[in-house]
Amino acid sequence: MKLRALRAAALLALLAPAAGCYYLGLAKHQLELMAGSRPLEEVYADPGLTDARARKLDIVRAARRFSEEGLGLRPSRNYTTYFDTGRDVLSYVVSACRPDSFVPYSWSFPIVGSLPYKGFIRREDAEAEAAALRADGWDVHIGETAAYSTLGWFTDPVFSSMLSMSEPDLASTIIHELVHGTIYVEGQSDFNESLAEFVGREGALQLFEELHGTGSPAVRAAKARFDIEELFYTVMRDLFGRLAKLYASDRTREEKLARRREIFEGARAEFRSMGAGFHRFSELKLNNALVVATVRYGRYNEFRRVFERALGSWPAFFAAVSAAASTGDPLAAVEALAREQ
State yes or no: pLDDT of 262 exceeds 60. yes
- Is 150's pLDDT higher than 90? no
When pLDDT is cut at 50, 70 and 90, the band that residue 240 belongs to is: very high
Reported as a single tens digit per residue, the pLDDT across 298-323 is: 788 899 999 999 999 999 999 999 99
Mention every residue, 6+ apart, whose C-beta is less than 8 A from residue 125.
25, 92
pLDDT over 90 at 148, yes or no? no
Cβ atoms 28, 12 nearer than 8 A = yes
Phi-psi sector, 152: left (phi>0), alpha (psi -120 to 50), beta: left
State pLDDT tens for residues 16-71: 444 445 544 555 666 666 667 899 999 999 998 999 999 999 999 999 999 999 99
Q: How far apart are CA 42 and CA 20, in angstroms?
A: 37
Above 50 in pLDDT, residue 11?
no
Length in residues, the chain? 341
> Going by C-beta distance under 8 Å and a sequence separation of 6 or more, which residues neighbour residue 88?
146, 161, 164
Please count the other Cβ atoms lying within 10 Å of the Cβ belonging to residue 271: 21
Nearest CA-CA partner of 167 in 123, 219, 127, 91: 219
The torsion angles phi and psi of 81, rounded to 5 degrees, stand at: -125, 170
Q: Once rounded to an integer, what is the mean pLDDT over residues 203-210?
A: 98
Distances (CA, A) of 208 to 111, 137, 205, 222, 305: 35, 45, 5, 8, 22
pLDDT at position 112 over 80: no
Least confident of 3-7, 243-247, 249-253, 283-287: 3-7
CA 96 from centroid of its chain's CA atoms: 16
Q: What is the pTM of this model?
A: 0.83
Q: What is the mean pLDDT of residues 98-117?
A: 84
Q: Which of 57-71, 74-88, 111-125 has the highest mean pLDDT?
A: 57-71
Q: What is the pLDDT of residue 29?
A: 60
Distance between CA atoms of 225 and 232, rounded to whole angstroms?
A: 11
The pLDDT of residue 102 is above 50: yes
Neighbour-count burial for 134-161, b at 16+ CB within 10 Å, e otherwise: eeeebbbbbbeebbebbeeebbbbbbbb
Q: What is the per-residue pLDDT for 26?
A: 59
Residues forming beta bridges with residue 114, ordered by sequence position = 108
Residue 274 burial by CB count (10 A; 0-12/13-18/19+): exposed, middle or buried?
middle
